[in-house]
Structures are given as C-alpha cells and as structure tokens.
Amino acid sequence: MAFMDDRLGQSRDFFQNTEMVLDLRNRPMRSDEISALYTRLYQKSMVRVVEVRLSDHLSFSMAGEPKKSRAAVEADGESNDCVPVIVRNTCRSGVRVVSSSDCVVLGDVNPGAEIIAEGDVIIFGNLRGVAHAGARGDQSARIWALSFEPNQIRIADLVAVPPRGAKPARGRFEIAEIRDGVIQVVSL
C-alpha cells in the first residue's frame, strides 16, 4: 500500500483520471482488500477501477451501468488466447459490446447497438446497427453477417455507410472486408 501511494505520488499525471482494470488472476485478494484499493486509488488520483478480473472467465464491472444484459457475455478473455466474446441474444438499441478479440452475436444487432471487436465481428442475424472490426487497427479484420442493412460499418480506421436506397439481399452470408483501401461487402 505504502509503495503504491509513493508510486502514485511520483507519477500523478500519468494516473490522473484514468480507468483501470485490476487483474487478480495470479494473486487472489479478499473483497475488503479490493474495496480498500478501490477507494485509495480514487481518492489519491481519481483512478477508477472499472473491472476486476478474478480468473480467466470471471470478471465483474465496478463502475457504470452494466453494458451487457444479464448473462449475455460469456467470457472476456485475452486476445492472445483468442477467446471470442459470445452474445447469446439480440443486441438492442443502447447495448455496446466491446471485445478484445473476436465477437460472435447469436441474434440480430438492432439500430442503435454497437459491436466493437479488435478481431472479427460475426453476426448470426441481421446487422442493422454499428459494427467495428479491427478496432485496434487490424486491416485484415472482417465483419460477417447473415444480412447487411447497417447504420455504419467500420474496419480498422475506415468507415463505410450503405449506399442509399439499396435493398439488402436476405438470407445469405455476407462479408465486409477491406479491398484496395475501401470497405467492400461481398457475398460468400
């Protein structure tokens, strides 16, 4: 604790007003220890611990409203493990799913919902909201969906909107990927 106070004092600017994920996978802590750490960090330098990881497939969120509806998200693993986030219901307006690897949605993505993944986005349903694949700049990331009628799709740092008045073809798998520097939607 004393060491941490010292460190926080030294690098005050670095930690100022940031959000932090507390990783306790290798060192389990009691709940009162966690809460002491939480208040200490907040008072000292406005660091908010937003998420506590307890083990590989168990984590809980400390701040803000629950972004995902109950039991929606199975696991939030590390990207090098390639454990995708699986959402087992329809993503409705206002839902925002963020994944550090791929993201699989078993249902529709409705207008107003956002799916953001550092890898691919795979939707077994209609994509009507916003999907962002390769959020960390991976240009080879792709978006897969049974039907594309989105508000907007993004891959890496490119943004595309569907052409006006185009009627989507239903019931076949389509893929959005970067070809020659632009986002293109092709059917499988």
Partner 1 sequence: MAGKTIVVTSGKGGVGKTTTVANLGTTLAKKKYNVVLLDTDIGLRNLDVVMGLENRIVYNIVDVIEGKCRKEQAMIRDRKLSNLCMIPAAQTREKNSITEEQMKELCSSLAAEFDYVIIDCPAGIEQGFKNAIAGADTALVVTTPEVSAIRDADRVIGLLEAALVRQISLIINRLNAKMVKKGDMMSTNDIIALLSVPLLGVVPESEEVVVSTNRGVPLVHDRSSKAGAAFRGMAARLNGESIPLDGDSRGFFGRMKRLIWD
Footprint on this chain of partner 1 (rule: CB under 8 A): 66, 69-70, 89-90, 92-95, 107-108, 110-112, 128
Nearer to partner 1, 79 or 89 (CB): 89
Nearer to partner 1, 24 or 107 (CB): 107
Nearest distance, CB of residue 41 and partner 1, angstroms = 28
Nearest distance, CB of residue 93 and partner 1, angstroms = 4
Nearer to partner 1, 70 or 164 (CB): 70
Nearest distance, CB of residue 152 and partner 1, angstroms = 15
Query: Which letter, b or e, does each residue of 37-63 get, where b requires 16 or more Cβ atoms within 10 Å of its Cβ?
Result: bbeebeeebebebebbbeeeeebeebe
The number of residues in the chain equals: 188
Nearer to partner 1, 93 or 152 (CB): 93
The number of C-alpha atoms within 13 Å of 177 and in the hemisphere containing its C-beta is 13
Name residues whose C-beta falls within 8 Å of residue 24's C-beta, 6 or more positions apart in sequence.
34, 52, 53, 54
Nearer to partner 1, 138 or 174 (CB): 174
Nearer to partner 1, 44 or 162 (CB): 162
- Nearest-angstrom CA–CA distance, 118 and 58: 20
Nearest distance, CB of residue 160 and partner 1, angstroms = 21
CA dihedral 178, 182, 183, 188 (to 10 degrees): -60
CA-CA distances (angstroms) from residue 121 to 6, 20, 68, 80, 144? 42, 25, 16, 17, 6
Nearest distance, CB of residue 46 and partner 1, angstroms = 27
Tokens of 163: 């052409």
The 10 Å Cβ neighbour count of residue 84 is 22
Nearest distance, CB of residue 137 and partner 1, angstroms = 30
